[in-house]
Protein backbone atom coordinates (compact mmCIF):
# COMPACT_ATOMS: atom_id res chain seq x y z
CA UNK A 1 0.00 0.00 0.00
CA UNK A 2 2.77 2.45 0.94
CA UNK A 3 4.66 1.64 -2.28
CA UNK A 4 1.53 2.34 -4.30
CA UNK A 5 1.05 5.68 -2.59
CA UNK A 6 4.71 6.60 -3.06
CA UNK A 7 4.50 5.71 -6.75
CA UNK A 8 1.46 7.93 -7.07
CA UNK A 9 3.27 10.82 -5.40
CA UNK A 10 6.30 10.38 -7.64
CA UNK A 11 4.12 10.38 -10.78
CA UNK A 12 2.34 13.53 -9.60
CA UNK A 13 5.70 15.22 -8.98
CA UNK A 14 7.01 14.19 -12.40
CA UNK A 15 3.87 15.61 -14.01
CA UNK A 16 4.32 18.83 -12.07
CA UNK A 17 7.90 19.39 -13.27
CA UNK A 18 7.26 18.26 -16.84
CA UNK A 19 8.13 21.22 -19.11
CA UNK A 20 5.01 20.65 -21.21
CA UNK A 21 2.90 21.12 -18.07
CA UNK A 22 4.96 24.02 -16.74
CA UNK A 23 4.34 26.18 -19.79
CA UNK A 24 0.58 25.79 -19.39
CA UNK A 25 0.76 28.06 -16.34
CA UNK A 26 1.99 31.09 -18.29
CA UNK A 27 -0.30 33.18 -20.45
CA UNK A 28 2.47 35.18 -22.11
CA UNK A 29 6.16 34.97 -22.92
CA UNK A 30 6.71 37.82 -20.48
CA UNK A 31 5.20 35.79 -17.63
CA UNK A 32 7.42 32.86 -18.56
CA UNK A 33 10.54 35.06 -18.64
CA UNK A 34 9.61 36.66 -15.31
CA UNK A 35 9.39 33.17 -13.83
CA UNK A 36 12.76 32.22 -15.30
CA UNK A 37 14.40 35.37 -13.89
CA UNK A 38 13.82 34.04 -10.38
CA UNK A 39 16.44 31.35 -10.97
CA UNK A 40 20.20 31.49 -11.17
CA UNK A 41 22.14 31.03 -14.40
CA UNK A 42 22.74 27.40 -13.40
CA UNK A 43 18.99 26.97 -12.84
CA UNK A 44 18.29 28.39 -16.28
CA UNK A 45 20.86 26.10 -17.92
CA UNK A 46 19.34 23.05 -16.25
CA UNK A 47 15.85 24.17 -17.26
CA UNK A 48 16.99 24.71 -20.84
CA UNK A 49 18.25 21.12 -20.97
CA UNK A 50 14.85 19.83 -19.85
CA UNK A 51 12.94 22.06 -22.25
CA UNK A 52 15.21 21.07 -25.12
CA UNK A 53 14.61 17.40 -24.35
CA UNK A 54 10.88 18.15 -24.52
CA UNK A 55 11.47 19.93 -27.87
CA UNK A 56 10.12 23.23 -26.55
CA UNK A 57 12.56 25.27 -28.59
CA UNK A 58 10.66 28.56 -28.45
CA UNK A 59 10.84 28.42 -24.67
CA UNK A 60 14.54 27.52 -24.87
CA UNK A 61 15.01 30.73 -26.84
CA UNK A 62 13.27 32.70 -24.10
CA UNK A 63 15.39 31.01 -21.44
CA UNK A 64 18.52 31.87 -23.40
CA UNK A 65 17.44 35.52 -23.52
CA UNK A 66 17.00 35.53 -19.74
CA UNK A 67 20.37 33.84 -19.28
CA UNK A 68 22.08 36.52 -21.41
CA UNK A 69 20.33 39.26 -19.40
CA UNK A 70 21.64 37.75 -16.18
CA UNK A 71 25.15 37.40 -17.58
CA UNK A 72 25.15 41.08 -18.64
CA UNK A 73 23.89 42.07 -15.21
CA UNK A 74 26.66 40.05 -13.53
CA UNK A 75 29.30 41.79 -15.68
CA UNK A 76 27.90 45.22 -14.81
CA UNK A 77 27.76 44.27 -11.15
CA UNK A 78 31.42 43.21 -11.16
CA UNK A 79 32.43 46.48 -12.82
CA UNK A 80 30.72 48.45 -10.04
CA UNK A 81 32.59 46.60 -7.30
User: Per residue in 41-50, is it b (16+ CB within 10 Å) or e — as a string?
Assistant: eeebeebbeb
**Residue 65: how many other CB atoms lie within 10 Å:** 14
d(CA 41, CA 68): 9
* pLDDT digits 0-9 by tens, 21-76: 999 999 999 999 999 999 999 999 999 999 999 999 999 999 999 999 999 998 87
Residue 81 pLDDT > 90: no
pTM of the model: 0.81
Amino acid sequence: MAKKKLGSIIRAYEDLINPVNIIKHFKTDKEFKDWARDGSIKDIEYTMERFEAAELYEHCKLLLEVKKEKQKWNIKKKNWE
